[in-house]
Amino acid sequence: MKVKDLGAPLDVFWFRLPHQPADGVETGGFVDAGGLLVSIYRGSYWQCAHVIPKGGADAIRAAGLPTWRASVAKLAPMFANRMEHVASFDDVKLLSVQVDRLERWYRDGLLCIGDAAHAMSPVGGVGVNLAVADAVAAANLLWRPLANSEVSEADLARVQKRRAWPTWAIQSFQVFAQNNFIAPTLNARGQVRAPWIMRHLQSIPVLRDLPANLFAMGLRPEHIQSPDAPV
């Protein structure tokens, strides 16, 4: 099946750090020349995403764990006192980022949804949302033909038709953010500033909530319509 590759200038090291009472629970974003770190509160620990240049993992590993720990501590000083909790690079999972989508999501007898149809960038953390929305749309459109054991290619095409547009729109936004904000930061030397659009979004509450709503709810929210939907 033909894949349209949209490209990604980044990879991500995922790892966990312990949460400490004084930390608070706000999602954190740390930006400096050459790196970005996002920390997500997960109850007892921080899920951390260290964004690195595409293909940069081997060089970081070769430089050694202490050098990597120091670079993360410099990026996010609040974690400097606990970087030793990452005992080895076995605790650091590499996500090799891809952003792509199938030109056609189906064949006779086969339908691809979620990551199988479209690998999403980690920008916005939307991979799960889109996968679940695809599944709900597929259930809504296919429960009747499935119950009659008559699923045609046209039925499968309807699922792609419904989900292709929100996928395209979110991927377009992600690629824009990757190329205009993330890649320049990863390639920067010296001081970097958060992009003006982010600074303005932060200061105007209505605008600040827009991206969160866009990513959390999606552009085309799906609701279960099959007869066994919970009431």
Adjacent-strand bridge partners of 126: none
Least Å distance, CB 135 to ligand FAD, is: 7
Least Å distance, CB 143 to ligand FAD, is: 19
Least Å distance, CB 54 to ligand FAD, is: 16
Nearer to ligand FAD, 14 or 143 (CB): 14
Nearer to ligand FAD, 96 or 187 (CB): 96
CA distance 107 to 172: 25
Q: How many CB atoms lie within 10 A of CB 37?
A: 20
Nearer to ligand FAD, 33 or 131 (CB): 131
Least Å distance, CB 72 to ligand FAD, is: 17
Nearer to ligand FAD, 70 or 94 (CB): 94
Q: How many CB atoms lie within 10 A of CB 14?
A: 14
In angstroms, what is the C-alpha Rg of the chain? 20
Q: Of all helices (H) and strands (E), which one includes residue 159?
A: helix 153-177
Nearer to ligand FAD, 71 or 174 (CB): 174
Binding site for ligand FAD (CB under 6 A): 14, 93, 95, 114-116, 120, 125-129, 131
Least Å distance, CB 191 to ligand FAD, is: 29
Q: In the numeric block, which tokens belong to residue 1?
A: 């099946």
Q: How many CB atoms lie within 10 A of CB 35?
A: 22
CA distance 187 to 53: 8
